Structure 1
Amino acid sequence: MRRNSWQDGLQETNCPILPGENWTYSFQTKDQIGSFFYFPSLLMQKAAGGYGAIRVNNLPAVPIPFPRPFKEYDVLIGDWFNADYRGMRASLDRGNLLPQPDGILINGQGPEKARLEFEPGATYRLRISNVGLKTSLNFRIQGHSMLLVETEGSYTNQKYYDNLDIHVGQSYSVLVKAKKKTNGKSYFMVASSRFTTSEQVGIGIISYPDSVANPLKPLPKGPALSDFNSSLQQARSIRWNLTAGAARANPQGSFHYGSINISRILVLENNLMLLGNKARFTVNGVSFVHPDTPLKIADYFQLEDVFQPGSFPDRPTAGPPSLGTSFIDVLYRDYYHIVFKNPLSELQTWHIDGYNFFVVGMDWGVWNESKKAGYNMIDAVSRSTIQVYPSSWTAILIQLDNMGMWNLRSQNAEKWYLGQELYLRVKGVGNDDPSTISPRDEAPMPKNVIKCGRAINL
């Protein structure tokens, strides 16, 4: 969404598309390549499906850093709940949290329904995305190794994995070499829940032209259900491919992020609050409340009383939690150091719209300034979604070079729905009035913009 948060489809950048209406998104896939997915962002509709894969391919002049695969498959994995999404939403509104999932789906299908066809000896690219609501998943293929090559718009150092932890909202590309001889066998592919009270398993099948029956059990074994440490070590092993070109021909490593001066440090801590007897989730003690007019619309028309500059703290505070419309004013092209702190006992996943960022550090315990000495300032992977393990922290560096109103949120659907998000208002010097912004820096308001709230008649 380069220069175009008008097309981001979030509650504070777009007015809702009303029942029976339609709206056309228009954006340029300019500065990223890789594996992504789309989904509905309002009212827990994601729980009912509606998601799908997006592939952004290299320009013909920019070679991919591996032999071109014989074929590509999109593999969408996610948790499933035996409840109507409207009932799930109503339960959250009453202050309840979502239960453990009832199952795991692969490409929207139940056990042994999703099938991929392999040709002997061919190499396949699997673009795997966790499109679920709240559950981290481990993906693996019986009898086949996976060569990791890309994640969320970045080419990675190529490394073989027997299994991959894929947290909510994350996407990976792997190359899988088909067997030359199978003797009539087929093979399981498995997506199993991580860090849940009991294991749920999604099962698909990889078959060959001579496969004569379903695969033989047992299923391929994954990591222990509650083994956070192996997951952390795997995450640390994923590094940026410094020599590959991606959206442009110049190598990814030509951007030396470690030499850029930091403009500002944000320390963002997720937590839980109770409002009466209802659960809400917070960032730095503030649980997000949506105003009557989307922030992007209100900013464009300069409506009063929607924004309260400086009201969101840069670091966790000791005061009582509160409700608020959390946003941070950011100077265009500033470079931020953001630390995500997770004091709770369950894994947290964060996403920033409109950006990739460098994951320079993650570890157990409490973050402090001394942790910067251990950061990876050479080949930290660049991506848009990152996990924070229980009682731990994750640090990122991000260049805010994409003007607009951008959402920073929990990818856990219940936490997001119940307030765990904020917005970054990215503007240049002297651009408080939107009419002063050059279309080279930000696209103008689209002609088909939907107006609502206090802007409905403007």
Structure 2
Amino acid sequence: MESRSLPMAAATSMSVAIAIVFLIYTAAPLGDAASVEHTFIVNQTKMTRLCKETQVTVVNGQLPGPTIEITEGDTVTVHVINRSPYNMTIHWHGVKQFRNCWADGVPMLTQCPILPNKNFTYQFNVVGQEGTLWWHAHVPGLRATVHGAFIIRPRHGAESYPFPQPHKEIPVIIGDWWEKDLAEMARNMTKSIFLSYASASTINGLVGDLFNCSGVPKEGYVLDVEPGKTYLLRIINAGLFSEFYLKIAGHKFTVVAADANYVSPFTTDVIAIAAGETVDALLLADAPPGRYYMVALPNQAPLPDTQTPEYTTRGMVRYKVSHSAGNGTTILRSSRGAEEEQGGYSSGDAPMVPKMPDIHDTITSFYFHSNLTSLRHHGHSLVQQRVDERLYVVLSLGTICKKGQFCKRGDSDENLLVATMNNASFQHPTAIPTLLEAHYYHTGLINGTTQELPKRPPLLFNFTDEALIPFGPKEMRLEPTYKATLVRRFRHGAVVEIVFQSTAMLQGDSNPMHLHGHNMLVLAEGLGNYDPVKDVARYNLVNPPVKNTVLAPNRGWIAVRFVANNPGVWFMHCHYEFHLSMGMAAVFIVEDGPTVDTSLLPPPVNFPTCSHDNSLIQTI
């Protein structure tokens, strides 16, 4: 059994350390699979990025948190020790958790949250997947700092990659730096109070030299490369609110995978990556030795959409050059001028800066995502030709009266702004037991406390009409909505097709939709309103990309298909934090199949239980 655990925070007591050692060496692996083991201590620590010491919630004192590296087929065991003041769960984003929904990490849907000063051990197998995924807290706001990479390597090693074996593999995590209280920010969003925004963007936890304190540029991420070598960048967007464009001056990327699924390789100078997505890209160090900025720019919908603070950040790609030591050996040193060695830069040694897309350029994202196709194996199509159930899911905003049935609409403090799917806003359950337990034990609770997600919107209109973005008479009649715990049931093995339609209702933003427990085939995407007659002809039924997070473009649509073959209770939601907290979510329940091997496993023996006095604070 392989055991890995990163160093604990310095403040951890000796008694906790002894408990951790006991947990690590007494947990048994599942079956004959190799075991990779980690201990996550979630606590609060003070960090400084923008001249201000900020208390942040992190794992093992790190930002980003520990990288989990496994081989396909391994068993993963993670002991989570919650020393933070918040309820906590960890979601293994993109890991299918086949028949093991108990480890999916969604509070009150699949498990009771890990309360402060409590522990819980996640254990699961990773079979039939390889590539870059990630893990993060599934509590409001806190995934901004509680997250890390989850890397699955092929069973036969890097030489079995369907692309040239890279010299090194580098996680590149794009995120946010917040000086605000993230839990308070999330609570405010559920009350239509939008007062908090990130203070900076980050690459691997560093804000970069576009930000300064008292005129001193801040530290940025540096990737040292050797001329002629190829590097596999495992890129993750862990940000709460933004899609990002990533460029490296003087270089191109070869995109080889997305969401831990191989794609037909293509070359590009810009990567578009939405919140929740991962992209694997090869970087060939083929430029003249020097320094080249790596820039991450968040995009946003153009006017008349509401404009929010968005911050570009940058790191550096720095070449190592060879110098002879005079004794027949070669020494690699970073490429820099004499003045840099003394603390400054010469004008001739200035790093090259890439030309970035405009912050309001959403077409570049549309073209990037449209260019993804699956890397086909043996000439077989991945697409199920029959469809058992079709859903047309409209992603929008609306309002609910705070008091009574009637209230003023539009820009009024009498209503609550919510996010919706088919004009219904998700109400996170607080009843005990969890939805997964109620489903497994057939308690009848689900039927008594949930409503069915409608398969189509109650009203058809021009969803992408720009006139719906500002408050006004045209959108006011479309605002009224309601809250409910939305559930949709699927029989085991059903082939489900969903068209996600973004709208212009009070905003014209894109929507990165994440489905737990399954991958989706992206059949087509387009701008404007989906046309069920003409757009079906555009479907890629040969080699569509396979994703766990799909981006419904700004005022556009995306059509996906998946097979409901993983029994359990699975969350489907937008990965923008404000959309999720405001209710753009639903639960997909997949029934058991006809055999033991197609049925949900029983809960683990250490499964946490809830009580009515748990004070379940904001647990989505």
TM-score by length of 2: 0.67
1:338–1:160 CA distance, 2 compared to 1 (3 A): same
Q: Residue 100 of structure 1: CA displacement?
A: 5.0
Q: Residue 98 of structure 1: CA displacement?
A: 6.0
Q: Residue 295 of structure 1: CA displacement?
A: 0.7
Q: Is the 8 A contact 1:349 1:387 kept in 2?
A: yes
- CA deviation profile, 1:392-432 (whole Å, cap 9, x unmatched): 111001111111111100101111112111111101367xx
Residue 203 of structure 1, aligned match among 314, 335, 348:
314
Matched, 1:254 2:383: no
Corresponding residue of 1:449:
607
Q: Residue 265 of structure 1: CA displacement?
A: 0.1
Matched, 1:191 2:296: yes
Matched, 1:352 2:449: no
Q: Distance in 2 between matches of 1:67 and 1:124?
A: 10
- CA deviation profile, 1:356-391 (whole Å, cap 9, x unmatched): 111111111211321111111111101111111222
Q: Name the amino acid aligned to 1:14.
A: Q
1:442–1:158 CA distance, 2 compared to 1 (3 A): same
Corresponding residue of 2:552:
388
- CA deviation profile, 1:68-92 (whole Å, cap 9, x unmatched): 1111000000233331112212322
Q: Distance in 2 between matches of 1:263 and 1:10?
A: 28
What SS is found at the alignment partner of 2:137? coil
Corresponding residue of 2:19:
none
Matched, 1:104 2:201: yes
Corresponding residue of 1:313:
454
Corresponding residue of 1:155:
262
What SS is found at the alignment partner of 1:376? coil
Q: Distance in 2 between matches of 1:127 and 1:260?
A: 33
Q: Distance in 1 between matches of 2:558 and 2:118?
A: 41
1:310–1:254 CA distance, 2 compared to 1 (3 A): farther
What SS is found at the alignment partner of 1:78? strand
- CA deviation profile, 1:332-370 (whole Å, cap 9, x unmatched): 111111000111211111000111111111111211321
Corresponding residue of 1:247:
none
Q: Name the amino acid aligned to 1:211.
A: S
Q: Is the 8 A contact 2:294 2:317 kept in 1?
A: yes
Q: Is the 8 A contact 2:493 2:593 kept in 1?
A: no
1:220–1:280 CA distance, 2 compared to 1 (3 A): same
Q: Is the 8 A contact 2:102 2:604 kept in 1?
A: yes
Q: Name the amino acid aligned to 1:118.
A: V
1:372–1:6 CA distance, 2 compared to 1 (3 A): same
Q: Is the 8 A contact 1:270 1:342 kept in 2?
A: yes
Q: Is the 8 A contact 2:388 2:494 kept in 1?
A: yes
- Let me know the Cα RMSD of the aligned residues: 2.2
Q: Distance in 1 between matches of 2:229 and 2:197?
A: 38
Q: Distance in 2 between matches of 1:10 and 1:189?
A: 34
Q: Name the amino acid aligned to 1:56.
A: I
Q: Residue 216 of structure 1: CA displacement?
A: 2.4
1:286–1:124 CA distance, 2 compared to 1 (3 A): same
Q: Is the 8 A contact 1:96 1:279 kept in 2?
A: no
Higher relative contact order (CA 8 A, sep 6+): 1
What SS is found at the alignment partner of 1:369? coil
Q: Is the 8 A contact 1:298 1:455 kept in 2?
A: no
Q: Distance in 1 between matches of 2:591 and 2:488?
A: 11
1:217–1:64 CA distance, 2 compared to 1 (3 A): closer
What SS is found at the alignment partner of 2:119? coil
Q: Residue 440 of structure 1: CA displacement?
A: 5.0
Corresponding residue of 2:133:
36
Corresponding residue of 1:59:
155
Alignment of 1:241-320 (within 5 A): 241-243=375-377, 251=378, 254-257=380-383, 259-275=384-400, 276=402, 277-291=415-429, 292-293=431-432, 294-308=434-448, 311-318=452-459, 320=480
Residue 232 of structure 1, aligned match among 366, 376, 390:
366
The structure 1 segments of at least 4 consecutive aligned residues displaced by more than 6 Å after TM superposition are none
Matched, 1:76 2:76: no
Of 446-455 and 271-280, deviating more is: 446-455
Residue 275 of structure 2, aligned match among 168, 171, 175:
168
Matched, 1:16 2:146: no
1:59–1:414 CA distance, 2 compared to 1 (3 A): same
Of 132-141 and 206-215, deviating more is: 206-215
Alignment of 1:354-369 (within 5 A): 354-369=517-532
Residue 401 of structure 1, aligned match among 565, 570, 593:
565
What SS is found at the alignment partner of 2:369? helix
1:186–1:266 CA distance, 2 compared to 1 (3 A): same
Gaps of 5+ in 2: 1-96, 210-219, 302-306, 321-333, 403-414, 460-477, 615-620
Q: Distance in 2 between matches of 1:290 and 1:302?
A: 20
Q: Residue 284 of structure 1: CA displacement?
A: 1.0
Q: Distance in 2 between matches of 1:324 and 1:305?
A: 14
Q: Distance in 2 between matches of 1:181 and 1:288?
A: 53
Q: Distance in 2 between matches of 1:381 and 1:235?
A: 9
Corresponding residue of 2:494:
334
What SS is found at the alignment partner of 1:298? helix
Gaps of 5+ in 1: 244-250, 431-436
- CA deviation profile, 1:14-37 (whole Å, cap 9, x unmatched): 110010111111111102111111
Q: Is the 8 A contact 1:334 1:400 kept in 2?
A: yes
Corresponding residue of 1:374:
538
Q: Name the amino acid aligned to 2:610.
A: C
Q: Name the amino acid aligned to 2:335.
A: S
- CA deviation profile, 1:299-356 (whole Å, cap 9, x unmatched): 2233334335763211111394111111111011111110001112111110001111
Corresponding residue of 2:353:
219
Q: Is the 8 A contact 1:297 1:455 kept in 2?
A: no
Q: Is the 8 A contact 2:453 2:586 kept in 1?
A: no
Q: Distance in 2 between matches of 1:151 and 1:17?
A: 31
Q: Is the 8 A contact 2:177 2:207 kept in 1?
A: no
Q: Distance in 2 between matches of 1:98 and 1:384?
A: 31
